[in-house]
Amino acid sequence: MGRVNKLAFFYIIMAMIVIFSIEIGGRFLYLIKRGRFSHLLAYDAVIGTRRFLPFEPPRANKTAYVKKGDYLVKNGYYTYDPEVSIVVRASRQDEDLPLKRDVPINNLGFRGQYVDISKDDKIRVWCLGGSTTFGYYVKRPYPEALNGFLNANGIRYEVINGGISAFNAQHIYNMLRDKEFVNRVKPDILVVNTYWNTIEQYENNFLIETVDNEFTRNILRSSCLAFFTYRGFLLLKYGEILGPMQAFSVYIDKICRWGVGKKLKIILVNEPMRLDYDAWRAAPEHPKNHAHSSLILKHFEKRYKNKIFFAKLPFFDTIDFSDKKTVNKYFIDRGHRTQAGYLMEAKEIARIIQNL
């Protein structure tokens, strides 16, 4: 073996030792921190966390969905089962609402009445989000109120409430990847409200799901070093450090690119939160995260100019909004709004849509 070959062999061995040391060192850190010799949680431990649903490449002879309670679990997302009517449990009686009541589920698996798949000449607005879009605890969720505001001067719009309990940006993106389902909805405008459920996904398992390629995902799952490298790449691309904010940025970017590719208009809504004086003291990270996510959404509004629009809801501003009387008027709990809160949200979104 020549001198050059020996040096090359030596450097290769040293590189392998460094890579192996980083891999083992990273795993030991997770072992100390979480008691598990891996950067991932066991699948059984994470599957119930905010309905974590990995996306799998479509395969022949694979069932399109699985019935699970009131839901149809599909590929990386879920909808309500059109054959059932789900029950909403209110935390309190508010505005003459009973503690339990049936909510109609339409043919698409969403809250609302039957949707004509053929579609006419109306502009179809598809509101996507979690329980706050669905409209927990209220008779009239914001998409229904939005439909009223938009059609006040004549019927031109049709608003579909695509809100589903615990839905996050991963579910929304995977739903948009389902061509057959999207072709049934036929949207012209998307209203995306997914902040809170998405940033609650702190596990590395969720961040890996931001990668579309299955082979790459498997590498990230198997190697702690590869995962750290991916985190570094996201840091350079989006400037985000926290894993939840990285996942939020990646998925919003994917949703934006999908919408722009389909020549749709997209309105990004930051998840409103209850923030009174007590909440500011008890959870200082809440206004910080909310303000941070607002900057992320504004960034995409600038990146996709005249295609993506950021809906700033003034009375939910975490810097200026701290009046307890106003808080109690618009919120039932930390995030779910009263009927008055949803009406305010619908009015602001209607203003943006009418100016598109």
How far is it, in rounded angstroms, from Cα 112 to Cα 124?
Answer: 14
Domain boundaries, the chain: 1-38, 43-354
Phi-psi sector, 336: left (phi>0), alpha (psi -120 to 50), beta? beta
How far is it, in rounded angstroms, from Cα 192 to Cα 198?
Answer: 12
Task: Looking at the structure, give the CATH architecture of the domain made up of residues 43-354.
Answer: 3-Layer(aba) Sandwich (3.40)
Q: Pick from 16-30, 46-60, 267-281 the range whose average pLDDT is largest.
A: 16-30
How far is it, in rounded angstroms, from Cα 103 to Cα 112?
Answer: 8
Q: Is a pLDDT exceeding 80 seen at residue 186? A: yes
How far is it, in rounded angstroms, from Cα 328 to Cα 331?
Answer: 5
77-121 tens-digit pLDDT: 999 999 887 776 654 545 555 556 678 899 999 999 999 888 788
- 3-state helix vs strand vs coil in the chain, percent to 5: 45, 15, 40
Backbone φ and ψ for 338, nearest 5 degrees, come out as: -80, 180
pLDDT of 262: 93
Q: Is a pLDDT exceeding 90 seen at residue 314? A: no
Q: Which residues contact 61 (CB under 8 A, 6 or more apart)?
A: none
pTM: 0.86
pLDDT of 15: 85
pLDDT of 99: 53
- The long-range contacts involving 175-184, CB below 8 angstroms and separated by at least 24 positions, are 175/74, 175/76, 175/77, 175/128, 176/255, 176/258, 177/55, 177/75, 177/76, 177/258, 178/74, 178/75, 178/77, 181/74, 184/108, 184/117
pLDDT of 183: 94
DSSP 310-342: EE--GGG-TTT---HHHHHHHBSSSS-B-HHHH
| pLDDT, mean of residues 157-181 | 93
Q: Is a pLDDT exceeding 80 seen at residue 352? A: yes
How far is it, in rounded angstroms, from Cα 158 to Cα 126?
Answer: 9
